[in-house]
Amino acid sequence: MTAADLLTVSPLIALTLTAVVVMLAAAFRRSHALALRLTLGGLAATFGTLFVAASRDARAVTLLVSMDAYTLFFIGLLTATTALVAILSYQYLAQLPVQPEEYYVLLLTATLGGVTLVASTHFAAFFLGLEILSVSLYALIAYTARRAAAVEAAVKYLVLAGATSAFLIFGMALVYAETGTMTAAGMRDVVAGLHPGAVVTIIGLVMLLVGVGFKLALVPFHMWTPDVYEGAPAPVTTYVATVSKGAVFALLLRFLLPVSADQGSAVFLALAAVAAASMLAGNLLALRQDNVKRMLAYSSIAHLGYLVVAFLAAGERAGAAVAFYLVAYLTTTVTAFGVVTVLSTADRDADHLLDYRGLGARRPVTAAVFTVALLSLAGLPLTIGFIGKFLIVTAGSGAALWTLVVLLVVTSAVGLYYYTRVIVAMYVRAPEGAQAGRTAPGARAATGAPAVFTLVALTAFLLATGVYPQPLLRLAEHAVSVLPWP
């Protein structure tokens, strides 16, 4: 490792240091506000070092990580999202009977894991990053340990994620045993050398996909999602839905990109089936949910299905679509869950549809933010989600994946129904009696001014990018241009 290497990996170092500093600070002086400030400062510093790293040539630092434009793009996305989650968490944690400082440490280590994932070019870094992320998440999900649902969710996640790690590491071992490679660059030869007789390699790849599919909550590995989303504290749910999934998807694109080149291969067909099943199941199961967190969980399954369609489309255009859509999905999801977080009280999260009845009259700003977020999730114009969906349709059509594209179109129309249900609940006068016996959390929850301000700023971003996506699109194109496109 040279000094130049150190400068290049400065984002990773900055993030690690931040976690350490926040932990030490908590040891000396317990202060929630201080922990948040240090966290935000550290994340800002990490974001700043991206520019240092970007000014240098892209390089592989050891075999494990590569600091190229792709990595930097996603580190930027993940740190920014983490910062947003941290801000949104503050008010939420302040009203709970927990010690909040360690929460930020866990948040930072989880992000460190995510950042390692997006930078990794080697199975070792891949596994390391995934474990750092997962272990932090176990603790985060159970952070409100007095709520039984949170503990249940954490245990469920722990057991399943543990099993998945086993799958993953076994898959890596099989691929390595057959082909002798553990690097992302080597995957091209692995995939190119696939033939129906290479059973062990195929099994290894499929096991890798199972591991990744679990993290991304793709059907049929999605069972944990609704329960964990519902049980985890709202800001943690936000994190699981955004940073964790974004990091893993970025990794998927880097490692398994060559899979998409051959539309006839078994792995390709398996992924296509997974995408189709995710879009169908996610959207159809969301239809009948009265719990907003569960509804968003199923909708996130569908969104990851859309992303897989873009992933399968192969080519630089499709890669840019993936990167753009990830930004769209992450920012929109943070906004949507941010609203849930802001409305939650010390007693419980604002997760029932009834909690949103009449929100338009009670808290017009929050309701407007949620409306924009839902419209963006539904992919309607003027929002970033629309541009994202358009890019995916373009990418899918470009690769002639007609079945998947038409399925995407039809299922996302189904999605309109459940998104509009929430909007209707917020704005339409409630029929008599529906409100009976129900407290409205939004009315009592303290309005965290920074949180609301953050949400409004995010909404402005969603709209601005929806109207003028060119800068972000250019950035995404630049980021994916370093991948080894066929």
Partner 1 sequence: MILLWYVLIPTVAAPLAWLAGRRSPAAARWVALAGTAAPLALVAAQWIAATDRLSAAFTAAGPGAAGLAAGSWVVDLRAPWIDSLGISFFVAADGLTLIMLLLTFGLGLLSVLCSWRGITTRVGAFHFMLLWTVAGLAGVFLALDLFLFYFFFEMMLIPMYFLIAVWGHERRVYSAVKFFIFTQVSGLLMLVAIVALVLIHGRATGVYTFDFTQLLGTPLPAGTAFVLMLGFFAAFAVKLPAWPLHTWLPDAHTDAPTAGSVLLAGVLIKIGAYGMLRFMAPLFPDAVAAFRTWALALGAIGIIYGAVLAYAQSDMKRLVAYTSVSHMGFVLIGVFAWNELALQGVVLQLVCHALSTGALFILVGGLQDRIHTRDMARMGGLWRVAPRMGGTAMFFAMAALGLPGLGNFVAEFLILVGVWQVSRWAAVLGAVGLVFATVYALWMMQRAFQGEETHRLSFPDLTRIEVGMFASMIVALVLLGFWPQPLIVTARQTVDGLQRMTAGTALVAPGADASTSTDGASGGPAVTDGAADTGSAPATGDGGAP
Q: Which residues bind partner 1 (CB under 8 A)?
A: 375, 380-382, 386-387, 390-391, 393-394, 397-398, 405-406, 409-410, 412-413, 416-417, 420, 423-424, 427-428, 468-470, 473-474, 477
Residue 452 C-beta: closest distance to partner 1, Å: 19
Concatenated DSSP letters of 257-283? GGGGG-TTSHHHHHHHHHHHHHHHHHH
Residue 108 zone, left/alpha/beta (φ > 0; ψ -120 to 50; rest): alpha
Handedness of CA 32, 128, 116, 236 (dihedral sign): negative
The H or E element spanning position 299 is: helix 292-312
What is the biggest distance separating any 2 CA atoms in the chain, rounded to whole angstroms?
Answer: 71
Integer Cα distance of 480 and 65 in angstroms: 16
Residue 289 C-beta: closest distance to partner 1, Å: 16
**Are 330 and 74 spatial neighbours (Cβ–Cβ below 8 Å)?**
no
Q: Which is nearer to partner 1, 51 or 417 (CB)?
A: 417
Residue 420 C-beta: closest distance to partner 1, Å: 6
Residue 401 C-beta: closest distance to partner 1, Å: 11
Integer Cα distance of 115 and 71 in angstroms: 8
Q: Which is nearer to partner 1, 173 or 456 (CB)?
A: 456
Residue 285 C-beta: closest distance to partner 1, Å: 18
Q: Which is nearer to partner 1, 23 or 378 (CB)?
A: 378
Q: Which is nearer to partner 1, 417 or 453 (CB)?
A: 417
Integer Cα distance of 359 and 51 in angstroms: 41
Q: Which is nearer to partner 1, 35 or 387 (CB)?
A: 387
Residue 396 C-beta: closest distance to partner 1, Å: 9
Q: Which residues pair with 65 in a beta bridge?
A: 61, 120
**Are 265 and 374 spatial neighbours (Cβ–Cβ below 8 Å)?**
no
Q: Which is nearer to partner 1, 41 or 398 (CB)?
A: 398
H and E: helices and strands count for the chain: 22, 2
Q: What residues contact 401, with CB distance under 8 A and at least 6 apart? A: 272, 309, 312, 313
Q: Which is nearer to partner 1, 89 or 465 (CB)?
A: 465
Residue 66 has φ and ψ, to the nearest 5°, of -130, 130
Residue 19 C-beta: closest distance to partner 1, Å: 37
Q: Which is nearer to partner 1, 41 or 315 (CB)?
A: 315
Residue 378 C-beta: closest distance to partner 1, Å: 8
Q: Which is nearer to partner 1, 143 or 386 (CB)?
A: 386
Residue 428 C-beta: closest distance to partner 1, Å: 6
Q: Which is nearer to partner 1, 122 or 421 (CB)?
A: 421
Q: What angle do the packed helices 245-256 and 292-312 form, to 10 degrees? A: 20
Integer Cα distance of 320 and 170 in angstroms: 31
**Are 316 and 481 spatial neighbours (Cβ–Cβ below 8 Å)?**
yes
Q: Which residues pair with 122 in a beta bridge?
A: 183
- Residue 67: helix, strand or coil by DSSP? strand
**Are 452 and 91 spatial neighbours (Cβ–Cβ below 8 Å)?**
no
Q: Which is nearer to partner 1, 131 or 316 (CB)?
A: 316
Residue 413 C-beta: closest distance to partner 1, Å: 4
Q: What residues contact 362, with CB distance under 8 A and at least 6 apart? A: 440, 442, 443
Q: Which is nearer to partner 1, 307 or 374 (CB)?
A: 374
Residue 426 C-beta: closest distance to partner 1, Å: 10
Q: Output the six-digit token pair for 179.
A: 């082909």
- Residue 70: helix, strand or coil by DSSP? helix
**Are 300 and 373 spatial neighbours (Cβ–Cβ below 8 Å)?**
no
Residue 49 C-beta: closest distance to partner 1, Å: 28
Burial class (CB in 10 A: 0-12, 13-18, 19+), 148: exposed
